[in-house]
Amino acid sequence: MAVSQRRVTNVVVRLTVAGSLALGGPIGCANTGGNIFATAADANDVCGKQHAAFADSKSFYLQEVAQGALFGALGGAALGALGAAATGGNAGTGALIGGGSGAVIGGAAGYYNAQQKQNADRATLANSIYSDIDRASQEMDRASTTFGNLRTCRFAEAARIKGAVRSGQMTREQGVQLLADQKKRFDDELTLARQYGTKMAEQDQQFRFASDSLVKDDPEAQQILARRARAAPAAPATPHVAVGTGDLVATAAVNVRSAPDGGSNKVGALAKGEGVQLGSEAPANGWQQVVLSNGATGYVSSHFLATPGAAPAAPVVAARPPLTTNNRDAQVAVAATETIPEKRAAYSKAVDDASQQASLSFNLDQASPPA
């Protein structure tokens, strides 16, 4: 019996040490706040600052988020080893089996179990999880913003290169080479963006499991959530842009171009809410011909146009109530089931859209997408 116990201890210790090394340091070591994944801006890259800002999220998504799954695997391995030893089985084999199952649920149950061990009472447990959700939401905002800035810079540079080739400022061969360089950089950035998206999905599972676990034994929280679900307003209808007739209004400040191409000359601009007449040409490739107030014609991205009265109003975001003993559990559930999935979906769509647009942006013979 003593031999089996020593074997269990050795297995668990080895797994714990391995996990500590995989995370880059001893377990429980304080976070100094340094970003070991920080990427300095490349002076040779016109979008170097935007790239560095986006890559700065690596420290959160590719290190911190991975810890939950790793500790879940460690916990499963330890339980597997203990179970095998108690029944007279092989502790090493039990650890491998337990580790495999722990890895599967580690990102969800492993996170919640770790939070339970660190927080003795229910109130502090809920508050800790809520804080994690709040931080994850902020990190999603940061990744979405920096990716958007990076995408805009890459596509603007591609449009500039195309314009230089058209105007004779550079040869076609030079333009093709420069566009290929921008495409290679952006392809790598899209790969990183999708890695972030994968980690966002893992977080979503963690927080859903945690919120469900907190609320399932709390009737008051269940009632609050039920009332909020009944009071939730219906989603607004997607505005439809009429084709061929009628006025349009700009849903945001937007440039008017001389051709249906983001790299073409700017011939005017529309303010948010400003009305404009439809041109005679049918919409094509995401662009709409319009007639300006001075009679000149131009092209505007259809994404920024809507029929009068159909432009969606700015969403009303209710102020998040402060955490109290009565609403803390409900707030955790609301944040986990609303904020995180919505932001993750918006981020994923932005990455997918950028990937599709890249095939046009970095092709010298294709018109640039709307900008």
Residue-level pLDDT at 224: 73
Can you give the pTM of this predicted structure?
0.61
Between residues 300 and 324, the one the model is more confident about = 300
| Domain boundaries defined on the chain | 1-118, 122-235+327-371, 247-306
Strand partners, 270: 254
- In the numeric block, which tokens belong to residue 319? 């102020």
For residue 52, pLDDT over 90 is answered with yes
Residue-level pLDDT at 232: 61
Residue-level pLDDT at 139: 94
Choose the weakest-confidence range: 34-43, 82-91, 129-138, 251-260. Answer: 82-91
Q: Cα separation of 34 and 32, whole Å?
A: 6
Domain 247-306 has CATH 3.30.360.10: no
Residue-level pLDDT at 321: 62
Mean pLDDT of the chain: 73
Under 8 Å between Cβ of 286 and 370: yes
Between residues 283 and 179, the one the model is more confident about = 179
Choose the weakest-confidence range: 47-51, 74-78, 286-290, 341-345. Answer: 74-78
Query: Half-sphere exposure (CA, 13 Å, Cβ side) for 166?
Result: 14
For residue 201, pLDDT over 80 is answered with yes
List Cβ neighbours of 106 (8 Å cut-off, separation of 6 or more). Answer: 68, 69, 70, 71, 72, 73, 75, 76
Give the Å distances, CA to CA, from 228 to 87, 215, 253, 340.
49, 14, 35, 17
Average pLDDT for 96-116: 62
